Chains A and B, each alone.
Chain A
C-alpha cells in the first residue's frame, strides 16, 4: 500500500542496486507477497486501528443502553454479545496488535539499524492470521451468534452446558488465531533485537524501546501458551467431550481462571509496557537530553516483566482462596508498583533537568502521566484484598482498567502516532487539530470513566444490561454516556487530521523532531532498504551521539537481501545472512491454517484433515529457493575490519 508520494533521494550506483534488490512488490497479488517489515508494520497499525474504531462503536452502544434505567436500546442477548466483543476486540484485536505488533514490527528493525526484521515470512504470516482471527469474531457478532460470555469467558458459563451453539467456540478460536500471530511476531522481534543490532549498539546502549520490546516478546512467549491451553481445553470440552471443567468427574472451574489469569495479567503489561517505552522515547527527545536513570528504567521494565507473572491471583480474590494466598498476592501486586513508580520519577527528573519542548506528542505524554497515575493508584487500592472484596466486578474495576489501559496505552499510542506518522508517511500532522483531539478526548474520557468509580462504590456491578430506577444510578450513568460524545468527536478530529495531512501536511524530512534514535537517521518514509548505509553506533541516542566521522558498515551484499548478524551482548559483527525475499507462501499458509482452525469449530476432524493443506503450504514455504546462488561456506572466514 503506497501511503505517500515517493521522496526523491540522490541515487548512487549502490543505492540503485539496493532499490532493485529490496524493491516493494507491485500489483494486487504483489501485496500478498510483501515481507518487508515497514509494510507489515503499517498493516498491523492500520488494521488494529480499524478494530479500535469498531470496538469504540460497541462501547457507544453499551453506553447508550446504560444511559437510563430500564432502557430498551439493547436486549440482554445483544448487550452480552456487544460487551464481550468490545472487550475481546480492544484487548486481542487492538491493544496488542497496535502496541506490540504494529509499533514493534515497524520500528524495531529501524531502531536496530538493520534492513528487515528477522524471519520476515513468519512476520507476514502473523499478520494474515491476525486478520482472519479478528474477522472470525466479528462475523460471529454480525450473524448474531457472537461470543457472549465476557472477554475472559469463565466456565461453566462458556462451557457446553450453558452456552450452546458456536459462540464460545468462535471466541476460543479467535484466541488461537491472535495468539499464534502474537507468538510469531514475538519470535521475529526478539531475534531481531538480539542479533540484528548495528555494530556498537551494545546492550548498554540499546534504546529503551528495544529493551521493552525484548521483554514483551519474552512475556508473550511465556504467557500466551497459557491462554492457548485454556481456550483449547474449553474448545475440547465443547466439541469432543473432554471433562476439564466438569466438577462431577474431577474437573475444576477455578483451573480455568488460574490458567486464564496466568496469561491475563502479563497480557495487560504486554499492553502497558509499550506505552511506557513510547514515553521513555519521547521524554528525552522533547527534553533535549539523555533520559535520566537509564539503568533504573531498564531494570524497571524487565522487573515488571518478571513480576507480572506473579500477581495473577489478584483477579481471583473473591473466589474464597486461603488467606495466605491473599497476603502473598497482595504483596506481589503492591511490589509491582515500585518499578512503574521508579519510571515516573525518572521521567520527572529528566524533564526537570531538561529543556522541555511541549510539542504535540509530548502533550499526549503529559496526558498519560495524569490518566495512568489515576489508574495505577486505584490499582493500589485494589491490591488490598478487603477493598477488592467490595469493588471487584463492579464499575469501580471498569473505571480502574480503563484508566490504566486508556491512560497507559491509548494516550501513549496517540503520542507515538503523532511522533512517528511523519516518519511513516513523510508528512507532519496538523498541530492545532492534534491539540483539539487531545482536549476533547481528555474531557470525554474523564467524564465517562471517573464517574464509574462512584457507580462502583454505590453498588453497581459490571456486565449488567440494565438496572432498576430505584438504585439511583441513573444520573451518574447519564454523565458517563455523555462523555462518549466528546471522545467520538475527538477521534473524528484525529481521522480528519490524518487523512488531510497525508495530502497537504508539511514535509517532515528525515528528522523533524531532531531526535536521537536510529529511525531518524534515514529518510521519511524510509527507503525499502531502510538505510542507504548500515550505521554503527556510539551511544544510547545514536543520532545525537554519533561522532562526526561515525563509521558506516560496508561489505553487506546489495544484490541479494542481506543483513548483518551481530552478537547478542556486544553487537560485534558475526556473519552476513541472506534473508528470504518477497513470497506468497506466508499468505497461502495462513489460508491453510485458517481453514483448519475454523473447520475445527464445526468438526473435530478439522484439525486432522485441515493439517494436510497446512503441511503442503509449509513445505512450499520451507523448500529452498533457487533464485540466488546459495552462499557457500567461506574457507577461512575473516574478521570484520574497521578502517578510516
Chain B
C-alpha cells in the first residue's frame, strides 16, 4: 500500500446526486434536441414560404385546410400545458401518487390530440402528391405528428415507471424534463397551425 501523503483537495462528497432544473445534464440534452427539431420545423416552414413565391394563387388548386379542426386541437394543446406544469411542480416532491395523476392527465391530453390530429389530416383538402404545396403542408403536420406520438409513448413509459419503486432520484428529474419536451410539442403545434391554417388563408 502506498504511503499516505498530505495534499490539497476539493471535497465534493457533500454535493447532491440529483439536480432539478437547468443544471441537470439531461435537461441540457433535451434543449439540444429541441434545437435540432426546432431547426427542422423552421426549415420546413421556410420552404413553405419559399413555395409561396413560386406560384400566383395560394393555396394552388385547392381550398385551405378546414379551420375548425386546427382550432380545436390548438385549444387542446394549450390546455395540456396544465397537466404538464403540474407534473413539473410535483416531481421534486417525490410523491408518486401525484406524479401518476399528472402523467395520466398529460397522456390523456395526448390521446385526444392524436385523435383530433387524425381529423386534421383528413381535412387538409389536398393530397401530398398533388403539388409542392400539398407536400409541404403534409410534411409540416407529419413531422409534428411524429413528435406528438413519440412524446405520448415517452409519457406512458415514464407513467409505467411511476407505478414502480424505481420512480425516485434522477427519474424524478426526468418527469420534469418530459414536461419541457411537451411544451416544445405545444409551441411547434401552435406555429404549425399558424402556417397551415393561417398563412394559407392570408397569403
Contact = CB atoms under 8 A, between A and B. Distances in A.
Q: Report A-B touching, CB under 8 Å.
A: yes
Interface of A: 10, 12-13, 118-119, 122, 183, 186-187, 190-191, 194-195, 199, 221-222, 224-226, 228-229, 233, 236-237, 240-246, 249-252, 255, 258-259, 262, 536, 549-556, 562, 564-565, 567, 573-578, 615, 619, 622-624, 626, 630-634, 637-644
Interface residues of B, number: 56
Given A12-B2, A555-B13, A630-B168, A250 B133 contact: yes
Interface in B26-46: 28-29, 32-33, 35-37, 39-40, 43-44
Interface stretch (B66-74, B81-89, B123-131, B184-192): B123-131
B171 A624 contact: yes
B97 interface: no
Given A638-B15, A641-B14, A643-B9, 20 more contacts: A190-B32, A221-B35, A222-B35, A242-B128, A243-B131, A243-B135, A250-B132, A252-B51, A255-B47, A258-B50, A549-B8, A555-B11, A555-B13, A565-B19, A575-B16, A633-B169, A634-B17, A641-B10, A642-B9, A643-B11
Given A222-B39, A574-B15, A244 B10 contact: no
A190 B30 CA distance: 12
28 contacts: A118-B29, A186-B32, A191-B25, A195-B25, A233-B139, A246-B132, A249-B130, A250-B54, A250-B55, A250-B60, A252-B54, A536-B10, A552-B10, A553-B9, A554-B11, A574-B15, A574-B19, A575-B15, A575-B16, A577-B25, A619-B157, A626-B166, A630-B166, A631-B169, A632-B17, A632-B18, A634-B16, A638-B15
Contacts of B154: 622
Interface in B152-188: 153-154, 157, 161, 166, 168-172
Contacts of B28: 190-191, 194-195
Interface of B: 1-2, 7-19, 23, 25, 28-29, 32-33, 35-37, 39-40, 43-44, 47, 50-51, 54-55, 60, 94, 128-136, 138-139, 153-154, 157, 161, 166, 168-172
Contacts of A536: 10
Given A555-B12, A633-B18, A615 B153 contact: yes
Given A252-B50, A619-B157, A640 B25 contact: no
A250 B51 contact: yes
A555 to B, nearest CB: 3
Contacts of B10: 199, 536, 551-554, 573, 640-642
B85 to A, nearest CB: 21
Nearest to A199: B10
B129 A241 contact: yes
B15 A637 contact: yes
Contacts of B9: 551-554, 642-643
Contacts of B134: 242-243
A442 B196 CA distance: 56
Nearest to B51: A250
Contacts of B43: 225-226, 229, 259, 262
B127 to A, nearest CB: 9
A577 B33 CA distance: 20
A552 B7 contact: yes
Contacts of B14: 555, 634, 637-641
Q: Which of B15, B16, B32, B168 has the most CB of A within 10 A?
A: B15
B51 A575 contact: no
Contacts of B29: 118-119, 122, 187, 191
A259 B47 CA distance: 9
B11 A640 contact: yes
Contacts of A623: 157, 161
A346 to B, nearest CB: 30
- Which of B2, B11, B44, B47 has the largest number of chain A CB atoms within 10 A? B11
B169 A12 contact: no
Contacts of A122: 29
Nearest to B173: A633
A37 to B, nearest CB: 15
Contacts of B47: 229, 244, 255, 259
A258 B172 CA distance: 43
Q: 4 shortest A-B CB distances, which residue pairs?
A: A555-B13, A638-B14, A631-B17, A242-B135
A221 B37 CA distance: 9
Contact of A250 (B131, B153, B166, B170): B131
Given A536-B10, A624-B161, A638-B14, A633 B54 contact: no
A641 B13 CA distance: 9
Nearest to A560: B17
Contacts of A565: 19, 23, 25
B12 A640 contact: yes
Nearest to A555: B13
